[in-house]
Amino acid sequence: MKTRLPVRQAILDRQTYDAPAEGREGKIRLDFNENTSGCSEAVRRAIAKISAKNLAMYPEYAQPTKRIARHLGVRPAELLLTNGGDDALRVFFDTFVEPSSSILICEPTFPMYRYYAEIAGAKIDTLRYDSSMKFPLVDALVALRKKPRVFFLANPNNPTGTLVPAQEIRAILQAAGDTAVVIDEAYAEFSGATVLPWIRTFPNLFVVRTFSKAAGLASLRLGAVMAHPDSLAFLRRAMPPFPVNLAAMVAAEAALSEGSAIKKYVRATVRVRTEFAKELSRLGVTVFPSAGNFLLADFGAQGPALFAALAKSGILVRERTKDMGAGFVRITIGSKPEMKRFQQVAKRFAAKSGGKFS
Ligand SMILES: Cc1ncc(COP(=O)(O)O)c(C=O)c1O
């Protein structure tokens, strides 16, 4: 149908919308970096206890924010809860980015930075990880001289799994001046690395976290931005009044107060990741060291056929063939049995060519 609706130019210019995959239930889901074992029982019990009256009320934020802040080691004024990490990222555009102002990212990275930048009609300055997935610090310091409004840096980065050392982030923050530096720590529980305490030193630092990964609450959509209260105040002005639902906050509190379940899952995931990486290396696959609950691998020319075989066996992975090269794939680290299933399919496949991917 032809329409003359007054659609914004940035939306007309946007070619794509890739709807997320559906029909994943029951499969081995190594494609979204979820906690594939599910959240803890304490979370389920806490959600079940929410009363009908409370469900019918608009949520109140002061008390849950106070409790979640305490668990995260910040003051309530330093914490903003958002509708998932994705939504936390969107708020930076609403707060800082005018159409045609620029943002800085380092690709390959989490696609939502580019996604929101396109919607905002922003210019996207792009750095690149090199072929060994090393972060280009010098290029970043040069690019910051152009004063982008926001620099988004995922640490560990998705999909490379790489971690930018703390002293390099310090150099970025010092060079960034008035640029808002967003350190996206969606996988901090797995890396054990954080620059969160620095929000008290650098007013241009914003740390983003999510409850979708280690805490296993992806369906509830809860994220957080932490920053100096004066800086966070600008983001608050760009927020709707009820951005986060009650169940998400109740679940997050339960997950954090029973932190041992998260720690146990993280420890198991790191252990399985190490074993799985070794196993892939033995099969001749190039594996990039990862600090997250996933890893990036290059299966070479046989990659695409293997990915098709995995899909046929009900194993979902995130192919990076389009943007990184034919054999590239990001694989979420699931449970030990799930990774064994992957290995069985990969070994069977490699057996056809002398037992190795080349
Ligand atoms: C680097 C990074 N940031 C943020 C997110 C957003 O997670 P969510 O919107 O589920 O909180 C993800 C999810 O994959 C991610 O990989």
Domains in the chain (CATH in brackets) are 9-36+260-351 (3.90.1150.10), 41-258 (3.40.640.10)
What sections of the chain are H helices per DSSP?
9-13, 41-48, 52-55, 62-72, 84-96, 112-120, 137-144, 166-176, 188-191, 229-237, 246-257, 259-282, 303-312, 321-324, 336-351
Going from the Cα of 74 to the center of ligand 1, the distance in angstroms, rounded, reads 21
pLDDT by residue (tens digit) across 179-188? 999 999 999 9
The band of 35, judged by pLDDT with boundaries at 50, 70 and 90, is: very high
Average pLDDT value for residue range 160-171: 97
Asked if residue 85 has its Cβ within 6 Å of ligand 1, the reply is yes
Query: Is the C-beta atom of 338 inside 6 A of ligand 1?
Result: no
More confident residue, 323 or 105: 105
Give me the pLDDT at residue 17, please. Answer: 65
pLDDT band at residue 353 using 50, 70 and 90 as cut-offs: confident
- Give percent above pLDDT 70 in the chain: 100
Structure tokens at 214: 């280690």
The mean pLDDT of the chain is 95
pLDDT given at position 18? 73
Q: What is the pLDDT of residue 209?
A: 98
Contact assessment for residue 266 and residue 214, using Cβ atoms and an 8 Å cutoff: yes
pLDDT band at residue 236 under the 50/70/90 scheme: very high
Q: Give the model confidence (pLDDT) of 248-303 as tens digits.
A: 999 999 999 987 999 999 999 999 999 999 999 999 999 999 999 999 999 999 99
Residue 85 alpha carbon, nearest atom of ligand 1: 11
Q: Once rounded to an integer, what is the mean pLDDT over residues 109-120?
A: 96
Q: Is the dihedral of CA 182, 318, 24, 279 positive or negative?
A: negative
User: Which pLDDT score, from 0 to 100, does residue 356 have?
Assistant: 83
What pLDDT, on a 0 to 100 scale, did the predictor assign at position 2?
80
Q: Mutation test of ligand 1: which of 39, 92, 112, 219 has the most ligand atoms closer than 8 Å to its C-beta?
A: 112
Contact between residue 261 and residue 255 where contact means Cβ atoms under 8 Å apart: yes
Angular region, 108: left φ>0, alpha ψ -120 to 50, beta rest:
beta
